[in-house]
Amino acid sequence: MYKAIDANKRNTVIIMAVFLLIIGGLGWLAGAIYESYEITIIVVVIAMLYALFQYFAASRIAIAINGGREIQKRDAPELFRIVENLTITTGLPMPRVYIISDAAPNAFATGRNPKDGHVAVTTGLLNIMDKRELEAVLSHEIAHIQNYDILVNMIVFGLVSAVGMICDFMLRMTFYGRGSKSKDNNGALFMIFGLVAAILAPIVALLVQLAVSRQREYLADATGALTVRDPEGLAMALGKLKTAGRPMDRQNSSTAHLFFNNPMKTGLLSKLFSTHPPLDDRIARLMGNANKM
């Protein structure tokens, strides 16, 4: 378990390095096209400031764009008590708890570190899960905090946003910019770069989310099941999602990797590029570990 947490911290450094290379490369290319490397400096500095802002504000943004409403113990006593008991068991600080008014059964955890933890559940999840299953789902979300997955997620959220901002900036420069000293020679190149950037931005975001999300979900399943000593309870909750799961009303690809279950519309391509492992695989792994606890 401790090795997995250390691996997540190393992944954070690797992800940051990769994104710095991507952002630096985009900035360099912008400077080369417009024959002014002042543009490179401006683009990189703005992107880094934007990523830094996203890092500190991303958890609040993720809660807000998904419609989370913070609650206290009096608002949902059972939910609050389950979260309290899990944090006592794991030795973590009590996270802030939110409810999202959405019929889709789902949940997510966010924050920069365990002291800044946030846990959100939908009304749909509260409606279909019994106490055992709800505890199992929440143990999964607390595991994300325990394993520092939330740190990785917030960095991904901020840096993906920064890459998207640069690509949007370059696309606008493609159609409206006049910075090149050789516009006649580079006009076609501007257009090509702008179109390529517009296509690559969501692809880069998706690939990064896939890279950090699927193994993270398996790890959180295992950690959560270990916390409550009940892999069957979590498997039962995942089984319910197979029949009662549905896309969320508010869908945002930048926060999809945070959720317990894929909140986006399903289809052939969405399954292929899903940020979450197949439910059947998650259930099989949990049931395979049930006899080992």
Question: Rg of the chain's alpha carbons, rounded to an integer?
Answer: 21
Whether residue 143 contacts residue 220, with contact meaning beta carbons closer than 8 Å, is answered with yes
CB atoms within 10 A of CB 169: 20
Whether residue 236 contacts residue 132, with contact meaning beta carbons closer than 8 Å, is answered with yes
Phi-psi region of 175 (alpha: psi -120 to 50; beta: other; left: phi over 0): alpha
Q: Can you list the pairs that 120-124 forms with residues at least 24 positions away whose Cβ atoms lie under 8 Å?
A: 120/63, 120/66, 120/68, 121/79, 121/97, 122/248, 123/99, 124/244, 124/246
Question: Active-site residues: which are they?
Answer: 141
Q: Where are the alpha helices (DSSP H) in the chain?
A: 2-33, 37-65, 77-90, 123-128, 131-146, 149-176, 183-228, 231-244, 268-272, 279-290
Give the Cα separation of 188 and 177 in Å (integer): 13
Angle between the N-to-C axes of helices 231-244 and 279-290, in degrees from 0 to 180, rounded to the nearest 10: 160
Give the Cα separation of 111 and 64 in Å (integer): 13
